[in-house]
Chain A
Amino acid sequence: NAGVTQTPKFRILKIGQSMTLQCTQDMNHNYMYWYRQDPGMGLKLIYYSVGAGITDKGEVPNGYNVSRSTTEDFPLRLELAAPSQTSVYFCASSPTAGGAFFGQGTRLTVV
């Protein structure tokens, strides 16, 4: 019973590098989300998707891109990494109505 799976769990990037955070869910949920959590803070919504082919910006989308080609997968792309993107990133999925289930998070450090 995998739920929401994020990879990698940890990553160190150099300034200006790019990377993709992977997220996959096996619950056939329509909605998927990407959040970032800075130390001691709440979760800020980066992007979300209501189904394959449909994505929209959240509260803090700058510096990120997403795609949703399948129901299961919702990768988050960081282009030209900056120190301000050092954070813990959470992917989540939810049914049309109801609570969201979260992945274990990816701890990203940009140096």
Chain B
Amino acid sequence: AQKITQTQPGMFVQEKEAVTLDCTYDTSDPSYGLFWYKQPSSGEMIFLIYQGSYDQQNATEGRYSLNFQKARKSANLVISASQLGDSAMYFCAMREGRYGNKLVFGAGTILRVKS
């Protein structure tokens, strides 16, 4: 069963605007972690942001924030003030259980920032 769903294969955003990348997940475990990674064209995987299922506040890291809606099982990534360097593939990932050992990924969303 698909655990992580990213429904947007590709997105465009104008430079300096905000963009939301969607992620929904499926788990029956009350304890889990959600992650976002960035993969630029060079291929490396860059960790961006983490949200724990028991965290009361939405996670933020600089221009990245995670819009966590637990009841809807969604964990959307919001990038504010987009920059040309934000053009990349973005992956949502989930780890189940407090000390869950499997980290599984969604199919990804390609983001292109236009100048």
A residues apposed to B, CB below 8 Å: 31, 33, 35, 41-45, 48, 50, 56, 58-59, 88, 90, 92, 94, 96-102, 104-105
Contacts and interface: CB of A to CB of B under 8 A. Distances in A.
A41 to B, nearest CB: 7
Given A41-B107, A42-B91, A99-B50, A105 B101 contact: no
A96 B33 CA distance: 12
A72 to B, nearest CB: 18
Given A41-B107, A99-B35, A56 B101 contact: yes
B91 A43 contact: yes
A49 to B, nearest CB: 8
A92 B50 CA distance: 16
Given A96-B99, A97-B98, A97-B99, A102 B45 contact: yes
A54 to B, nearest CB: 9
B98 A105 contact: no
B103 interface: yes
Contact of B101 (A41, A48, A88, A101): A48
Which interface class (under 10, 10 to 19, 20 to 34, 35 or more) fits B?
A: 10 to 19
Contacts of B108: 41-42
B47 A99 contact: yes
A35 B103 CA distance: 10
B44 interface: yes
B44 A104 contact: yes
A88 B35 CA distance: 21
Contact of B103 (A41, A45, A56): A45
